[in-house]
Amino acid sequence: MAKNYLVEQPKIDRRANNTQIKLYQALKNYYVEGIAFKKIQVKQLCQTAKVSRATFYRHHQNIQDIIAIQLLIMITQFEKKIDGLQVLNYDSGSGVVVDTIYANLDLLQLMQWSGTEKSGQKIVSGAIIRILILRDFDEVNRNFIADYLGAAILKFAFQISQAPEKLPKEQALKLYRFLVPKV
């Protein structure tokens, strides 16, 4: 059976990527400083990140887009890891999910801080739909399953992000396998 890959090698504009890194880092700094997300203005963010407003608006419509793009980057990295697995099954896939959660705790915290959980769930559900299509899942139930799993995985990830030091990764993996349905 031929292997279906989730990710084609994207062509990434180095300047756009550097801009994203600067803006995301500036947002993380605001979060760490305890500044309310709603108080951050584009002008202020651009000054902190040393990015022009024109450059910001060339790549983003609003500040929430920075987090959405970072989530898309995380999903792309996740999909590459899944594509690299020799054997893809629930156990190997769930290990990649939990590793991805622990590698992106800051992003999960920023999603909650910024109130972008709902839009993030749509992005995650879209990635799950792509996986279900590649696995020839029943079209009738595909959207329901993707929405359910997207919500379940993000809820699990948000719980982990609140206190990762209290829950070792091995324990989180056991909990994930217990709580999240095997599809």
Together in a domain, 97 and 133: yes
CATH for 39: 1.10.10
Domain boundary among 60, 76, 95: 60
Range of the domain at 27: 13-60
Buried b (16+ CB within 10 A) or exposed e, 68-106: bbbbebbbeebbebbeeeeebeeeebbbbbbebbbebee
Together in a domain, 53 and 74: no
pLDDT at 33 over 70: yes
Together in a domain, 82 and 55: no
The pLDDT score that the predictor gives to residue 166 is: 81
Together in a domain, 101 and 130: yes
pLDDT at 138 over 90: no
Give dist(CA 79, CA 98) in Å, integer.
Answer: 13
User: From its phi and psi, is residue 127 left (phi > 0), alpha (psi between -120 and 50) or beta?
Assistant: alpha
Per-residue pLDDT of 44-80, as tens digits, reads 999 999 999 999 999 999 999 999 999 999 999 999 9
Together in a domain, 78 and 152: yes
pLDDT at 2 over 60: no
Per-residue pLDDT of 143-172, as tens digits, reads 999 999 999 999 999 999 998 678 999 999
Split into its structural domains, the chain has a count of 2
Average pLDDT score, the chain: 91
For 148, residues 6+ apart whose C-beta sits below 8 A from its C-beta are: 181
Task: Copy the structure tokens of residue 2.
Answer: 């031929």
Domain-located, residue 1: no
